């Protein structure tokens, strides 16, 4: 057993002095002042010393909090806010959420109307924009559906009263719902939207502070500016000539007087680098109605930190829809519907953790099945991707390719450097069957 004798600030951090040590020290002082004093359990002096030792222990706890409040990795609450203020990064507020009811009018028989996830619905004046969190399917029989919405802008401005959300944004409807014909969609929220007053969690805020770039113009600084835009999931920078990060500069690597042709940057000419942006597909890439597009927001964010003469070419990443075809063998008595729902949630969580270029591993998908209680086995598991992988350079006619590509059993789905895997539980790429044993 190791006996700790060094308390307070030490080489290994702050060591709190426990109550038994505090009480023992108090007993030693009492015996030094009052030789032969009674310190048994029934002693009045002992009760006083136990009370003071407990109070001293609370002071030590407070000292420990103050010490660890000096570091981003351990600070919490108000102390973490103060560290963020020191570097100019404030804790962000959350986006308001709620539920709206969408109704189709003048629906044509035998036709289904689909409002995709991310459909923009708006309030009256002043306009507040919200995006739906799931696709909505309506027809002449099922004319009404409820769906969750999230405000595009953070803060209390998104907390609107019941009935404030009134319609699908006209610009969005013209651009994405033009094939609806005479059908019209009405929107209303039966309850107020809430959550805009809340702030992001310590874990989320701490992650942004720990990833803060401490230099003005490097790859990390550009990535930080782009990732600071709401809705941006990941970014990848392509800088072949080293103009962004001076540590990657090609200067002094070529003998310019001995080369007739070269692709190096000429002094005085504008320099372009590429920023590949993966974003939440509920957020529009270009501005639609009152919602500023990801492209415009990222461009503005990068422009704020780029030097003169160096320009960003902002490119949207390829969002690849991932699906699965498999048969799950479950134990007798299991709820097959609940198991499939749980598997879908697990797959959505695992795929959402991937970043640009991150491969979808076959073993990871198998774990999403077999780690569910009641699942005995998974058979004929094939990973799917949509759209399929198309060649970037082709000579002659382009051969026909399926929209959905299916990998063989045991094969991973390899993502390109500009591809981001996404998962939709209601997508056509998902084909799951249950066999009860």
Q: What DSSP letter does each residue of 364-401 carry, written as one string?
A: HHHHHHHTSTTEEEEEEEEEEEESPPPPSS-SSSPPP-
Give CA–CA dist 432/117, Å, rounded.
Answer: 22
The pair of three-digit structure tokens given for residue 340, joined into one six-digit string: 């499939």
Give CA–CA dist 291/295, Å, rounded.
Answer: 12
Give CA–CA dist 379/366, Å, rounded.
Answer: 10
| pLDDT on residue 241 | 52
List the end-to-end C-alpha distance of the chain, in Å, as a whole number. 53
Beta-carbon count within 10 A of 422 CB: 19
Residues of the chain with pLDDT under 50: 1, 245-262, 390-402
| pLDDT on residue 236 | 86
Which neighbouring-strand residues pair with 433? 327
Give CA–CA dist 99/150, Å, rounded.
Answer: 9
CB-based contact 272:313 (threshold 8 Å): yes
Fold that domain 217-316 belongs to in CATH: Alpha-Beta Plaits (3.30.70)
Alpha helices in 177-305 (DSSP H): 202-210, 219-227, 294-303
Handedness of CA 341, 347, 348, 349 (dihedral sign): positive
| pLDDT on residue 83 | 92
Give CA–CA dist 344/338, Å, rounded.
Answer: 10
Would you give the distance in Å from CA 136 to the centre of its chain? 23
Domains of the chain, residue spans: 8-68, 95-188, 217-316, 319-436
Give CA–CA dist 388/426, Å, rounded.
Answer: 18
| pLDDT on residue 389 | 58
Tokens 């002071």, located at residue: 59
Give CA–CA dist 3/177, Å, rounded.
Answer: 72
Q: Phi first, then psi: what are they for 324, rounded to 5°?
A: -140, 140
All residues at 6 or more sequence positions from 253 whose CB lies less than 8 Å from its CB, including other chains? none
CB-based burial label for 245 (10 Å; 0-12, 13-18, 19+): middle
What angle is formed at CA 251 by the lines to CA 216 and CA 275, rounded to 5 degrees?
Answer: 45
CB-based contact 410:308 (threshold 8 Å): no
Give CA–CA dist 242/360, Å, rounded.
Answer: 31
Question: What is the number of H-type helices and E-type strands within the chain?
Answer: 9, 18
Q: What DSSP letter does each residue of 317-379 carry, written as one string?
A: -EEEEEEEEEEEEE-TT--HHHHHHHHHHHHHHHHHT--TT--B-HHHHHHHHHTSTTEEEEE
């Amino acid at each position: 057993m190791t006996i700790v004798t060094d308390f307070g600030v030490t080489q290994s951090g702050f060591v709190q002095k426990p109550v038994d040590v505090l009480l023992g020290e108090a007993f030693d002082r009492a015996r030094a002042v009052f030789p032969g004093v009674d310190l048994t359990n029934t002693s009045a002096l002992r009760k006083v010393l136990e009370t003071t030792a407990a109070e001293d222990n609370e002071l030590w706890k407070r000292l420990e909090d103050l010490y660890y409040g000096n570091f981003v990795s351990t600070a919490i609450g108000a102390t973490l806010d103060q560290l963020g203020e020191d570097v100019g990064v404030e804790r962000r507020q959350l986006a308001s959420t709620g539920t709206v009811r969408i109704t189709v009018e003048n629906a044509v028989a035998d036709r289904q109307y689909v409002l995709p996830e991310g459909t923009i619905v708006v309030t009256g004046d002043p306009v507040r924009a919200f995006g739906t969190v799931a696709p909505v399917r309506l027809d002449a029989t099922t004319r009404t559906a409820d769906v969750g919405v999230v405000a595009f802008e953070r803060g209390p401005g998104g907390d609107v009263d019941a009935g404030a959300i009134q319609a699908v944004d006209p610009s969005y409807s013209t651009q994405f719902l033009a094939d609806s014909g005479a059908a019209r969609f009405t929107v209303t929220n039966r309850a107020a939207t809430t959550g805009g007053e809340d702030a992001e969690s310590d874990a989320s805020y701490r992650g942004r502070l720990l990833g803060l770039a401490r230099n003005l113009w490097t790859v990390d600084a550009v990535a930080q500016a782009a990732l600071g835009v709401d809705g941006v999931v990941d970014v990848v920078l392509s800088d072949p000539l080293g103009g962004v990060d001076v540590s990657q500069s090609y200067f002094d690597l070529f003998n310019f007087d001995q080369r007739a042709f070269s692709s190096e940057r000429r002094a005085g000419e504008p320099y372009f680098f590429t920023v590949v942006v993966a974003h939440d597909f509920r957020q529009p890439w270009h501005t639609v109605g009152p919602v500023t597009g990801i492209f415009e927001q990222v461009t503005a964010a990068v422009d704020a930190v780029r030097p003169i003469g160096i320009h960003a070419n902002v490119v949207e990443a390829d969002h690849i829809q991932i699906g699965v075809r498999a048969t799950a063998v479950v134990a007798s008595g299991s709820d097959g519907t609940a198991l499939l729902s749980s598997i879908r949630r697990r797959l959505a969580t695992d795929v959402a953790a991937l970043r640009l270029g991150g491969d979808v591993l076959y073993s990871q998908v198998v774990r999403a099945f077999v780690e569910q209680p009641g699942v005995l086995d998974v058979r004929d598991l094939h990973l799917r991707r949509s759209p399929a992988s198309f060649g970037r350079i082709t000579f002659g006619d382009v051969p026909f390719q399926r929209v959905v590509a299916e990998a063989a059993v045991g094969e991973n789905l390899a993502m390109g450097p500009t591809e981001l895997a996404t998962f939709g539980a209601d997508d056509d790429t998902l084909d799951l069957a249950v066999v009860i044993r």
